[in-house]
Amino acid sequence: MKKRNWLVLLLSVLIMSAILIACGESDSSSENSGETEEETETTESAETDTEEETAGNEEVEEEGTGESTIEFLSMLTGGTSGTYYPLGGEMASIISDATGVQTDALSSNASADNVVALQNGEAELAFVQTDVMDNAVQGINAFDGNPVDNVQAIGSLYPETIQIVTKKDAGITSVEDLAGKKVSVGAPGSGTYINAEQILEIHDMSMDDIEAQNLDFSESTGGIQDGNIDAAFITSGTPTGAVEGLAATVDVAIVPIEEDKIDALIEQYPFYAKDTIAAGTYGLEEDVITVAVLAMLAVTDNIPEDLGYEMTKAIYENAEPMAHDKSSYITIDSALDGIGIELHPGAKKYFDEQGVTQE
């Protein structure tokens, strides 16, 4: 009987132990399950935060992917003995100070070569004759079959006078007298060269009627001084440094263009205008009637609008302090004279604010 009771008691203990063990495992499973869910939520939250942070970084990167800030500008001018180079140096300094963008004035072969350099992305700014720029956009003359479509205008600057320079005792008093003479006409394709072609054309002449020499301004005046050439076409604002230098050593004459030929030239090529070289210039005893085109500043179309605006504002509001004689011609009122191509958006914005519009 005692043995039987002991077995019953042992069995009861075993059953109770089994029940207690089962309950403990259930509670442990429940606790572990809770910890796993919490860890999962934390992991998902961390992943969500990471995704949001990544999205935020992508947004910052996207906002920062605009055009890079321009730090340098190259301004092509002309030969060191012409007007473009010294005036360009002053304008480059003004642009640098006003915009904070370092602008360097570089000597070059002038108009036509300058336009080609802009077209090829080799420079950002350049001095150009209005007639050459017109030819470039139309794809004629030096730009035949190769029209330029990435260059825009900042504005015109001053008249560029076509000066046919010779010695007073050379016996050359008319364009027709150039026939058979050694005459400098500038680099092929340059603004001076094209002017020479067109003026000869109006006089029923061509390059074949002269011994054309492709010299720059200083070479031209040096050649006249030394007697190696008889005359030179020089398209530049007056007084031109190279001609002043020549006048200091010999008596200079400027060949006039007759009124009827001027009228015919302007009718055929409207970008020309009648011009006068005043008596006293180069020691001249009386006024000389000739023609002129306009010098302009051209720019590539990838210059940002705000920079174009600041450059234009700087040039036309700081021309008066410039030391060069031609600075007096650089005014807002005449800034769009002779401009036949599209204005840079920044320049247009500035001139619109000033009430000056392109015709």
Q: Are strands 252-254 and 151-167 parallel, antiparallel or unpaired?
A: antiparallel
Strands (E), the chain: 72-76, 102-106, 125-129, 151-167, 182-184, 211-213, 231-236, 252-254, 273-277, 288-300
Q: Which architecture characterizes domain 72-353 according to CATH?
A: 3-Layer(aba) Sandwich (3.40)
Alpha-carbon distance 245 to 79, whole Å? 15
Instruction: Provide mean pLDDT across the span 27-51.
Output: 40
Sign of the dihedral through C-alpha 286, 290, 294, 295: negative
The residues facing 76 across adjacent strands are: 106, 126
**Cβ count within 10 A of residue 281:** 20
pLDDT of residue 69: 79
User: Is the pTM here over 0.85, yes or no?
Assistant: no
Closest CA to 157 of 10, 342, 325: 325
Q: At what angle do helices 191-202 and 259-268 cross, to 10 degrees?
A: 120
Instruction: Provide mean pLDDT across the span 191-196.
Output: 90
Instruction: Provide mean pLDDT across the span 319-341.
Output: 88
What are 264-279's pLDDT values in tens digits? Answer: 998 888 788 889 999 9
| Cα angle value 142/119/153 (rounded, 5°) | 90
Greater pLDDT, 338 or 254? 254
DSSP-derived secondary structure for 174-214: SGGGGTTSEEE--STTSHHHHHHHHHHHHTT--GGGSEEE-
What are 223-260's pLDDT values in tens digits? Answer: 999 999 999 999 988 888 899 999 999 999 999 999 99
Q: Give the chain's count of helices (H) and strands (E).
A: 10, 10
Phi, psi dihedral angles at 237 (to 5 degrees): -65, 140
* Predicted confidence (pLDDT) at residue 157 exceeds the cutoff of 60: yes
* Predicted confidence (pLDDT) at residue 284 exceeds the cutoff of 80: yes
> 335 in helix, strand or coil?
coil
> Which amino acid is residue 313, in one-letter code?
K
Domain-wise residue ranges, the chain: 72-353
Instruction: Provide mean pLDDT across the span 290-306.
Output: 95
**Cβ count within 10 A of residue 234:** 29
Taking a C-beta distance cutoff of 8 angstroms, is the pair 228, 152 a contact? no
Alpha-carbon distance 70 to 101, whole Å? 7
Alpha-carbon distance 39 to 326, whole Å? 80
Six token digits for residue 95:
């642009």
> Which amino acid is residue 317, in one-letter code?
E
Report the Cα 137 to chain-centroid distance in Å: 15
Closest CA to 228 of 236, 217, 220: 220
